[in-house]
Amino acid sequence: MSTVASTRPANLQELMDSGWQSKPVKREIHDNFVQMLAAGDELYPGIVGYEDTVIPEINISLLSGHDMLYLGEKGQAKSRLMRGLVRFLDEYIPYLDVPDAPFHEDPLAPISAAARKFVAEHDAKDTPIKWWHRDDRYAERLAPGTKFADIIGEIDPAKLAGGVSMSTEGALHFGLIPRMHRGIFAINELPELDELVQVGLFNILEERDVQIRGYPIRFDIDVLVLFSANPSTFNRSGKVIPQLKDRIGSMIQTHYPRDRAMGIEIMEQEADIDLDGDYPVKVPYFMKEICEQISVQARKSKYVDQQSGVSVRFSTANYRTMIASARQRAIVLGEKPAVPRASDLGHLYTSSLGKLELDLMGSHQMSERQVLDSIVAEAIQIVFEEYVSEHGLAEISEIFGKGVRIEVGDMVPSAEYANRLKRVPPAWEKAFEVNASSDEAVRASCVEFVLAGLYAMDKISRSQTHGGNNYET
């Protein structure tokens, strides 16, 4: 309901006169979803690459009225997808504004003793109504460390000490799920949830009621429950109780970008960098491709623990680091625009190493830096081979074989590259095949791409210093 606040019913009588009708939260989501789907509205803003895989499964689950488990590795937008379901709730719903009511009660169907008592003892025009915005009707909890009392409830010792009888509803402290009555509740990393709490979820998922330490009254909680999990832990025996798995209506399997172009689109969207300003940045497409290909190679590497996964945040952080390095050079040297180069990738240690988990069996004695260097070299070679044919590379490597040595680096002025390449004209010409731009900074980036590609293909050798690369025989 999107009525202007001043005209919304303020008491139960006005609400009943308005013709407002109660709906279970799943029916509310279903009806709004159907309306938006029929109208051709954008259903999941900011979600890229799932149009033909994940999104159809979510749509069907919403139409089915199912609780859902989002199963996928880290950085696959599971949390964003769960939070995005809020847009299918009504903008506002009414609730009883009465003393001691523990929930946002449906004015026409209250479930707590306090709310029912108030409605029974007061005229409808004297029963106040407030309105609950959909953004406040979503809550989530990370499973590790979560206790039964946190999300379901417990007997409140303070209330007992205050004289409240244990046999009354007033003695209870309600957890997050009961307090999200008429809303959406999500639990991240389900397999890490304590077994006792998992058992406590049985009734909520099956019977929609809450039972706390044998308290005799059942609360018919109206809530959509969502879960997320990593396949490696979800499928491990004993991590999730089979009876709980059985009660989850739909399992939605997410995935990493299916192709590099899609990965680049996601990377740019998530990085959300202003490339303009006082020191504008121009990113050659091949540098975007290398940045994303690094993630692709990491997801294939035998040295990386694939059960842990390589998050989309890995691409995003590396992309931001690469651009920051180029912008720093532009600021110091006064170059405009700033154009990322292969030497800027030398700073990816800072944004990469904390996000890669090595496979202890596959990596053997390799350090994290060595693993990353190997992955970056593979990524450069793959992109380079797509851009530059084998023809002409032998001539360049022969020139280097005569003792030519070229020093490049992240702080070398772009104007210097033409001079440094005078003894290797084929490399300069080959750079034109990558990008025919006449801009010095773009040309410098193309030259480094060719040199880094030749090195990745073992055509020339390279020695590294901090911030610089020396290419030679």
407: enclosing H helix or E strand: strand 406-409
The residue ranges of the chain whose pLDDT is under 70 are: 1-6, 155-171, 208-211, 213-218, 360-364, 389-403, 423-437, 465-473
- Residues linked to residue 186 through DSSP beta bridges, in sequence order: 140, 226
Show the tokens assigned to 13: 């009588």
Distance CA 430, CA 229 (A): 48
Q: How far apart are CA 64 and CA 282, in angstroms?
A: 47
CA angle 413, 418, 422 (to 5 degrees): 135
* The two structure tokens encoding residue 115: 């709310």
Q: Which residue, 68, 51, 47, is CA-closest to 312?
A: 47
Q: Which two tokens stand for residue 287?
A: 């540098």
In this structure, are strands 68-71 and 250-253 parallel, antiparallel, or unpaired?
A: parallel
Q: How is residue 190 written in tokens?
A: 């389900």
Report whether 56 contacts 240 (CB < 8 A): no
171's tokens: 């003695």
- Residue 382: what pLDDT? 94
State the DSSP H helix or E strand holding residue 178, giving kind and residue range, or none if neither.
helix 176-179
204 contacts 248 by C-beta, under 8 angstroms = no
CA angle, 99 as apex, 97 and 102 as ends, to 5°?
A: 80
Cα(459)–Cα(446) distance, integer angstroms = 17
Q: What is the reported pLDDT for 3?
A: 45
3-class DSSP state for residue 129? Answer: strand
pLDDT value, residue 175: 85
Q: Kindly tell me the burial class for residue 240, based on how many C-beta atoms sit within 10 Å of its own C-beta (0-12, 13-18, 19 or more).
A: buried
From 188, 207, 206, 219, select the one nearest 245 (Cα to Cα): 206
Instruction: Name the token pair of 354.
Output: 């904390």
Tokens found for residue 272:
């959300």
The candidate with the shortest Cα–Cα distance to 292, out of 386, 360, 189, is 386
Rounded CA separation 148/154 (Å): 8
Cβ atoms of 77 and 47 closer than 8 Å: yes
Token pair of 221 as six digits: 């909680």
DSSP code of 277?
A: S
Dist. CA 469–CA 471, nearest whole Å: 6
Within 212-341, residue ranges assigned H as helices are 231-234, 242-247, 260-271, 285-298, 312-333
Question: DSSP state, 236?
Answer: S
Alpha carbons 179 and 317: distance in angstroms, whole number: 37
Classify residue 227 as exposed, middle or buried by CB count within 10 Å of its CB (0-12, 13-18, 19+): buried
- Lookup: tokens for 370: 């060595």
Say which CATH class 5-253 falls into: alpha beta
